[in-house]
Each structure stands twice: as structure tokens, then as C-alpha cells.
């Protein structure tokens, strides 16, 4: 009877270990899937804004080709240009929101992995790795990095450009600003065409 109990205990411990492994694999797979969706949303947004800029450039060339912005055709094309910019802003903002939503989901999955598997570990938790790296980067420009050389010099040479985006700390503002500029150019050309009628 005692031997059978020992066999059941070892089988149960193997089941628990296998169950934990499956749970960890599932959570890690979900994390990777959510991060892939976030990157996909960024790719869609950048492609859409690039196509918008291409179309806007073509419209501006057609409007200004004869160096005289007047007539109904120029007015209609200027209105279409304004609509391109407006739709681009809304599209870019909505995909930025999708990116942040996926980022929040992935952060929650990392915290869940920390809670289930790394809570009693003396090392740093998974969800603390990136925030602590950002704090180190933000606290000092002379932080010691694990690597030196050309890669280090290139990566931090243009760090000042990040200050342009302000508190957002990302380029999401930039991707909304580009369609906004297209919208403003369309409004100016629309007003100019209306004045010439």
C-alpha cells in the first residue's frame, strides 16, 4: 500500500510539473502573439501613412502643375487632399490606440508569468526589465552600457531627437503629425483655390 502511494505521489508531481510547463508555454505563446499584433499594427500604420504621403504628393503636383491654383478641378483636388490628411490622422491615431492596447495586454501577461513562475526568485522579474532599463537610460546620458564601440556611439548619438516627441516618449506623435501637415496643406490650397474663383 505504501509503495502504491509513493507511485501516485510521484505521478502527481510529474503531472503538476507538466501542467506548470504547459501553462508557462501557453502564457509565453500568448505574450509573443500579442507583441506580434502590436508590431503588425505599427507596420500597417506606417505603410498607410507612407501611401497617404505618396498620394498627397501626387495631388499637390497635379494642383500646382500649371502654377495657377484656380478653377473647380484644383478646388476639388485640394478638398480631396484635405480629406486624405483628415482620414490619415484618424487612422494613425486609431492604430496607435491599438498598439497601446496590445502593449498593455503583453505587460499583463508578463506580470502573470512573474507571479506564477518567478515570484520567489531573487533575480529581477520579467515585467521589471524594460522599465528599469528605461529609468537607467532616462536618469543619465553617461550610463554605463554592456557594450561599447560604434554601435553604442550610433545608438545614442541622436538621442536628442526623442525629446521632440515630448512626454509620449515615442514616435506615435510623429505618425499623427504627418497626416496633419497634409491636412493643413490641403486647407491652405482649398482656401487659395476658393479665393481665385
SS3 of 74, please?
helix
Question: For 183, what's the count of Cα atoms within 13 Å in the CB-facing half-sphere?
Answer: 13
pLDDT digits (tens, 9 = 90+) for 24-78: 888 889 999 999 999 999 999 999 999 999 999 999 999 988 888 888 999 999 9
Is residue 124 packed enough to be buried (19+ CB in 10 Å), middle (13-18) or exposed (0-12)?
Answer: exposed
pLDDT digits (tens, 9 = 90+) for 126-153: 666 655 555 555 455 444 444 444 444 4
| pTM of the complete model | 0.68
Enumerate the domain spans of the chain.
Answer: 32-115+171-197
Nearest residue to 35 (alpha-carbon basis) of 47, 27, 45, 46: 27
Amino acid at each position: 500500500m505504501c509503495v502504491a502511494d509513493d507511485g501516485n505521489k510521484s505521478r502527481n508531481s510529474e503531472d503538476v510539473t507538466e501542467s506548470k510547463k504547459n501553462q508557462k508555454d501557453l502564457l509565453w505563446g500568448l505574450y509573443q502573439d500579442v507583441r506580434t499584433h502590436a508590431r503588425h499594427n505599427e507596420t500597417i500604420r506606417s505603410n498607410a501613412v507612407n501611401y497617404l504621403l505618396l498620394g498627397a504628393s501626387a495631388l499637390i503636383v497635379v494642383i500646382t502643375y500649371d502654377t495657377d491654383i484656380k478653377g473647380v478641378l484644383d478646388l476639388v483636388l485640394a478638398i480631396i487632399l484635405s480629406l486624405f490628411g483628415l482620414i490619415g490622422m484618424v487612422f494613425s491615431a486609431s492604430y496607435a490606440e491599438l498598439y497601446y492596447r496590445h502593449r498593455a495586454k503583453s505587460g499583463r501577461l508578463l506580470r502573470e508569468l512573474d507571479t506564477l513562475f518567478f515570484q520567489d526568485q531573487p533575480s529581477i522579474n520579467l515585467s521589471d526589465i524594460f522599465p528599469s532599463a528605461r529609468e537607467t537610460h532616462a536618469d543619465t546620458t553617461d550610463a554605463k552600457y554592456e557594450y561599447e564601440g560604434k554601435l553604442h556611439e550610433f545608438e545614442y548619438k541622436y538621442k536628442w531627437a526623442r525629446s521632440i516627441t515630448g512626454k509620449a516618449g515615442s514616435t506615435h506623435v510623429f505618425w499623427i503629425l504627418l497626416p496633419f501637415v497634409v491636412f493643413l496643406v490641403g486647407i491652405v490650397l482649398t482656401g487659395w483655390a476658393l479665393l481665385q474663383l
